[in-house]
């Protein structure tokens, strides 16, 4: 993994300030990556009109990004552990920025979808790399948890903030600016990393053969899983069956290859570690429930109640604000008490808040939705830092990039599952009575997901110790 920031000849306040600026730069990158998951949704009508594309093209604009991220994250983390996270993070930022520029200048739907996929590839390189750089700069358990709290607090606001910021940009400047805005921010982040983060080597694995087959099969398996869920969510049964069959074949080949690999993409020790598996399962369930509720809430407010994109985005602030405020608090709690207590408290609060989904009626829904938004926002705020810190501490330091890749993959797969499954179950919000009845079903599903996460949280070790 990347070496800690060199501070020779620097005063203690200077070291703190240098690390703080680096953390802010890496947070900005993570914020952009997650922002581009949801900010595009409010721009889809304008994109369709401007580029003359229908629903399939617009679905490709959203799905191309999600599939690329989910498919390539694992390989990006493992590659960073081998070649060094600074260089790979810089490459990821460069690719993301260039693709954002291409998105903003796209002359048609095809080039836009292709550029969105390249955006996702850049995100898959920089996400695990940036997380590994944070953990390298803050190696102590307590300071690492606090730093991850800041990282999670800033970055996690991106998903619910996307519709609000997207609405502002689309109304004020047009849809192309939701992509072009990334370019100067990426340029500043690249400059910051270049100056603040020293060059580093990989984790001493240069002599170990690269698992090329795993690097190919893992993206096919993970990307195929996400694509299968997306296609099924769109009601395309034939396409879902075909995608599922191809994904199953890739998964079977991956298992066979990894059993024989000299240096498996995911070491078997991690796959047999209950703490590592448990916290990543919690991460998946958290994003599944959160983004599923976020998606159907947005449908209800915009499609069912005819609110503007900006108004709907503002109504989601009760989820975003607690998440941003409490993620650093979760970092301090995790530093002091370990990850279990914040995880248990967060999943319990989110489950309690989600019960309000059972009381949404056919009229104005916001009063009934508000407790769910607040409960999930508070719950996520308590969970997000603890789940990342526990995942990073459950793996050896030499696998920091891989651990970050696994954790972010779990979250991205959860996001895709949440949007596809909740969207498929809820249907169109224009059919008010049917949508409301199905929202009640999803309320029970959401409570059940949080209950499962709560059960997993109770078996997380009170204190995380790295594997040897």
Q: pLDDT tens digit string along 87-124?
A: 888 999 999 999 999 999 999 988 999 999 999 999 88
CATH topology of domain 12-200+265-457: Growth Hormone; Chain: A; (1.20.1250)
Q: What is the reported pLDDT for 370?
A: 93
Say if CB 333 and CB 149 are below 8 A apart: no
Query: DSSP letter at 339?
Result: S
Q: What is the reported pLDDT for 2?
A: 43
Say if CB 91 and CB 242 are below 8 A apart: no
Query: DSSP letter at 438?
Result: H
Query: DSSP letter at 316?
Result: T
Say if CB 264 and CB 214 are below 8 A apart: yes
Say if CB 156 and CB 165 are below 8 A apart: no
Q: Which residue has the tokens 């409570």?
A: 447
Query: DSSP letter at 459?
Result: T
Take residue 151 and report the two structure tokens written for it: 């990282």
Q: What is the pTM of this model?
A: 0.77
Report the half-sphere exposure of 209 (CA within 13 A, side-chain side): 10
| C-alpha to C-alpha distances, 89 to 84, 121, 132, 194, nearest whole angstrom | 9, 12, 10, 10
Q: What is the reported pLDDT for 303?
A: 74
Residue 246 burial (10 A CB sphere; 0-12, 13-18, 19+): middle
The domains of the chain are located at 12-200+265-457, 212-264
Q: What is the reported pLDDT for 449?
A: 97
- Identify the helix (H) or strand (E) that includes residue 170: helix 158-173
Alpha carbon distance 356, 83 (integer Å): 48
pLDDT tens digit at each of 468 positions of the chain = 344 444 444 555 556 667 778 887 877 777 887 788 778 877 777 788 888 887 567 767 877 887 788 778 777 777 777 777 788 889 999 999 999 999 999 999 889 999 999 999 998 888 887 777 887 777 776 777 777 777 777 776 776 677 778 878 887 888 899 999 899 989 988 888 888 777 655 544 444 566 677 777 877 887 788 778 777 766 777 888 898 899 899 889 888 877 776 666 666 666 666 777 888 899 999 989 998 898 888 778 877 788 776 777 778 888 888 887 887 888 788 878 888 899 999 999 999 999 999 988 876 688 889 999 999 999 998 998 888 888 777 666 666 666 767 777 788 788 778 877 887 788 777 788 888 898 999 999 999 999 999 999 887 766 555 544
Three-state SS annotation for 105-116: CCCCHHHHHHHH
Q: What is the pLDDT of residues 271-328, one digit of tens each?
A: 666 777 888 899 999 989 998 898 888 778 877 788 776 777 778 888 888 887 887 8
């Amino acid at each position: 993994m990347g070496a800690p920031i060199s501070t020779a000849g620097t005063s203690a306040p200077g070291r703190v300030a240098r690390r703080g600026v680096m953390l802010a730069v890496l947070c900005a990158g993570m914020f952009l990556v997650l922002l581009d998951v949801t900010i595009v949704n409010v721009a889809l009508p304008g994109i369709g009109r401007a580029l003359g594309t229908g629903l399939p093209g617009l679905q490709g604009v959203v799905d191309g990004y999600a599939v690329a991220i989910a498919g390539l994250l694992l390989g990006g983390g493992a590659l960073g552990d081998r070649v060094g996270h600074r260089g790979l993070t810089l490459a990821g930022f460069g690719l993301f920025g260039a693709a954002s520029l291409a998105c903003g200048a796209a002359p048609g739907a095809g080039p836009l979808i292709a550029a969105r996929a390249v955006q996702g590839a850049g995100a898959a390189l920089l996400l695990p790399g940036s997380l590994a750089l944070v953990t390298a700069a803050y190696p102590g358990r307590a300071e690492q948890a606090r730093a991850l709290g800041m990282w999670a607090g800033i970055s996690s606001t991106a998903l619910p903030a996307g519709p609000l910021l997207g609405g502002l940009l689309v109304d004020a400047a047009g849809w192309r600016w939701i992509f072009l805005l990334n370019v100067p921010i990426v340029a500043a982040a690249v400059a910051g990393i270049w100056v603040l983060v020293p060059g580093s080597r990989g984790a001493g694995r240069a002599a170990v053969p690269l698992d090329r087959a795993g690097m190919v099969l893992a993206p096919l398996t993970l990307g195929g899983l996400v694509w299968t869920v997306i296609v099924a969510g769109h009601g395309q049964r034939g396409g879902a069956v075909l995608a599922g069959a191809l994904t199953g074949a890739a998964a079977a080949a991956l298992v066979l290859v990894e059993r024989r690999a000299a240096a498996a993409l995911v070491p078997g020790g991690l796959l047999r570690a209950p703490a590592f598996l448990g916290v990543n399962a919690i991460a998946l369930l958290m994003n599944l429930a959160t983004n599923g509720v976020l998606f159907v809430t947005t449908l209800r407010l915009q499609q069912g109640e005819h609110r503007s994109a900006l108004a709907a985005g503002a109504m989601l602030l009760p989820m975003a604000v607690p998440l941003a405020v409490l993620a650093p608090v979760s970092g301090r709690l995790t530093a002091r008490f370990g990850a279990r207590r914040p995880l248990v408290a967060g999943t319990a609060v989110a489950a309690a808040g989600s019960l309000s989904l059972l009381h949404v009626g056919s009229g104005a829904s916001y009063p009934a939705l508000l407790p769910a938004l607040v409960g999930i926002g508070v719950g996520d705020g308590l969970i997000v830092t603890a789940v990342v810190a526990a995942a990073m501490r459950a793996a050896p330091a030499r696998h920091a990039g891989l651990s970050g890749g696994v954790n972010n993959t779990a979250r991205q797969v959860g996001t895709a599952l949440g949007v596809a499954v909740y969207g498929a179950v809820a249907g169109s919000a224009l059919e008010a009575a049917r949508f409301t009845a199905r929202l009640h079903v999803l309320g029970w599903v959401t409570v059940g997901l949080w209950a499962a996460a709560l059960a997993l949280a109770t078996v997380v070790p009170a204190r995380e110790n790295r594997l040897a």
